[in-house]
Amino acid sequence: MLYDKARIFVQGGAGGNGCLSFRREAHVPRGGPDGGDGGHGGAVVLVCDDSLRDLQTFKRKAHYKAPRGRNGEGAQRHGADGEELVVRVPPGTHVTDWTGATFDLVLPGARVDIARGGSGGRGNKRFAGATRQAPRFAERGLPGAEGWIDLRLKLLADAGFVGLPNAGKSSLLSRLTRAAPKVADYPFTTLEPVLGTLEGEDRQLVLADIPGLIEGASEGAGLGHDFLAHVERTRLLVHVLDLAPLDGSEPESNWATIERELERHDAHLARLPRILALSKADLVSAQDAERAAAAWRARLGPDTPVLITSSATRLGLDELAAELLRRVPLERPRAVDELAAEQELAEHRVFRPGADRAWRVEHVGEGAFRVSGEPVERLLARHDLDNDEALAHIEHRLHRMGVVRALQAAGFEPGDDVEIAGVVFELDRR
Ligand SMILES: Nc1nc2c(ncn2[C@@H]2O[C@H](COP(=O)(O)OP(=O)(O)OP(=O)(O)O)[C@@H](O)[C@H]2O)c(=O)[nH]1
Ligand SMILES: [Mg+2]
C-alpha cells in the first residue's frame, strides 16, 4: 500500500506570558518593575527527508504541536523560546495549508515553516516610562498559528510506464529492475504505482509503473487518474502498447486513447519525451512485429524510439534499458530546478511577518460600534481584561492606532459601547 495522501493538524506553540513583577531589595522600599518577557512559541517545521518513501507515518499520528514559550520571570529574566517541532516528509511532498498556500518539498533538507509559534508577551518592565513608573500589568503570549494541512506525495521517478490495463507494464518493470510488481492476466492488476531502480553503469534511474489508464482517466474513470499526478514529474514516458490485445482492440486506437488522457490531464505530460515499447512480441510473428514497428516509426517520427519487446523472451529489453539510460537527461531536470526556485519563494512567503495592519470600524446600532481586524484583536488577546491598568493601556493603544479617531468619525461618543473580538467596552469614560 502506497500512502500518498495525508491530512494532519499542525499548531505552533503559544508564546510565554510576560511577567508582572517588582524588584525587591532590602534597602529599597519600593523597587521598580522587573518582569521579564515571555519566550516565543516553537514553530512546526516540515523538513524534506530522503530516507522516507511515503506518508505512512501520518496514518498513525495526525496532530503535531510545537512546545510553548516559557513565561517571563522577575529580575528581568526572559522565558526560554519553545523548540521547533520538526515533521519529516518524503521528497516529492506537495503541501496545501489552511489558507490555500502551497509548498513543494522536493530537495532533501528543504524546510517550510508551516505553523509559526506565537510571540511572547512583554513583561511589565517594558511598559515603564516617565508617566507610568510602576506598570501593574504585563502582556500575555499569543497563540501560535494552527490548522489542517494536506500532504500529497508525487513520486519522483525518472521515467513512467503508461498504457492501458494489461498492456504489460508491470512485466516490463519486473524484468528491467528488481521490483516485483504483481503481474496477472486481468486488467487493473496494479493498484498503486510501483517503483523500481534500473542500474546503469554509472547511474541509476527510478522507473515508475503506473496503474493502467483508460478512456476518461483524466476525468476520474478507472484507477489511473489519481496516479497521473505521479508521472507529472517524470522526465520521460515509456508508452507500453500491446501488439496483440486479447480483447481484439486496435493498437492504433489504444495508443490514441492513452495519449489523449495524458494530454487532458496536463499539457506538460503531452510534451514529455516518449519511448514506444511494443509489448508481447512473442505473441505475434517476427514479421508482423517488424511491420508494426515500421508503421509506428513512420507515424511518430525520428524523435520517438520504437522498440519491439517481450517480457516473456526478453526480446528488446537490453535495448529498452539502454534507450532509457541514454534518453533521461543526466543533468537535473528543469522541472526540479523550477520547483526548487518555487520552494525558495514559498519559504520566503512563509517567513515574511504578517504585514496585515488592517482594522475597521462599524456602526452596528444605537450607541454601539464594532472594531475588527487582526491588530486590534491581537491587542486584546495580549492583555488581562480584568486588570484596570491593562485596560487603560489598551485604550491608550487604541488612541495611538487611530481607532478612537475612526470611531469618532463614525459617530461614537464617550460612553458608547465598543465591541472588539466579542468583548464589549465602554471607551473614554471620563
Ligand atoms: N506472452 C506474453 N505475455 C505477457 C508479456 N508481458 C505481459 N504478459 C501478460 O500480460 C498480462 C498483463 O501483464 P501485466 O504486466 O500485469 O500488465 P499491466 O500493464 O501491468 O496491467 P495492469 O497492472 O492491470 O494495468 C499478464 O498475464 C502477463 O503475463 C509478454 O511479453 N508476453
Ligand atoms: Mg500492472
Q: Which pLDDT score is estimated for 148?
A: 97
- CA 185 – ligand 2 centroid, Å: 10
| Index of the ligand 1 atom closest to the CA of residue 165 | 25
Q: Which pLDDT score is estimated for 131?
A: 77
| The C-alpha cell that represents 10 in the structure block | 499542525
pLDDT in tens, the chain (430 residues): 567 889 999 999 999 999 988 887 766 666 788 889 999 999 999 998 877 878 888 988 999 999 999 999 888 899 999 999 999 998 888 899 999 888 888 777 889 999 999 999 999 888 887 777 788 888 999 999 999 999 988 766 789 999 998 999 999 999 998 877 888 787 777 777 777 888 887 777 888 888 887 777 777 666 666 677 777 778 899 999 999 898 889 999 999 999 998 888 888 888 899 999 999 999 999 999 999 999 999 999 999 999 999 999 999 999 999 999 988 866 544 444 555 555 444 443 333 233 445 788 888 888 888 888 888 888 888 888 888 888 888 888 888 888 888 888 888 888 788 888 777 877 765 4
The number of C-alpha atoms within 13 Å of 277 and in the hemisphere containing its C-beta is 35
Q: Which pLDDT score is estimated for 354?
A: 36
Q: Which pLDDT score is estimated for 208?
A: 86
Ligand 1, atom 32, residue with closest C-alpha = 280
Confirm or reject: Cβ of 174 under 6 Å from ligand 1: no
* pTM recorded for the entire structure: 0.59
- Residue 79 β-bridge partners: none
Cα separation of 138 and 390, whole Å?
A: 8
Q: Which pLDDT score is estimated for 255?
A: 96
8 Å CB contact between 105 and 46: yes
Ligand 1, atom 24, residue with closest C-alpha = 188
Q: What share of the chain is helix, strand, coil (3-state, %, to 5)?
A: 30, 25, 50
Ion ligand 2: residues, CB < 5 A: 170, 189-190
CA nearest 211: which of 183, 188, 237, 177? 188
Cα separation of 409 and 416, whole Å?
A: 13
- CA 188 – ligand 2 centroid, Å: 7
Confirm or reject: Cβ of 190 under 6 Å from ligand 1: yes
| The C-alpha cell that represents 391 in the structure block | 485596560
Cα separation of 385 and 376, whole Å?
A: 14
- CA 173 – ligand 1 centroid, Å: 11
Q: Which pLDDT score is estimated for 392?
A: 83
CA nearest 20: which of 129, 118, 139? 139
Q: Which pLDDT score is estimated for 416?
A: 83
Q: Which pLDDT score is estimated for 49?
A: 87
Confirm or reject: Cβ of 165 under 6 Å from ligand 1: yes
Residues 377, 378, 380: CA angle, nearest 5 degrees: 70
Confirm or reject: Cβ of 239 under 6 Å from ligand 1: no
209: three-class secondary structure by DSSP: strand
8 Å CB contact between 339 and 100: no
16: three-class secondary structure by DSSP: coil
Cα separation of 293 and 313, whole Å?
A: 18
Q: Which pLDDT score is estimated for 348?
A: 35
Q: Which pLDDT score is estimated for 28?
A: 63
For residue 346, give every residue at least 6 positions away whose Cβ sits within 8 Å of its Cβ, in sequence order, or none.
101, 102, 103, 104, 112
- CA 321 – ligand 2 centroid, Å: 19
Q: Which pLDDT score is estimated for 290?
A: 96
Reported as a single tens digit per residue, the pLDDT across 255-266 is 999 999 888 888
CA nearest 255: which of 278, 273, 233? 278
Amino acid 298 reads A
CA nearest 21: which of 9, 36, 6? 36
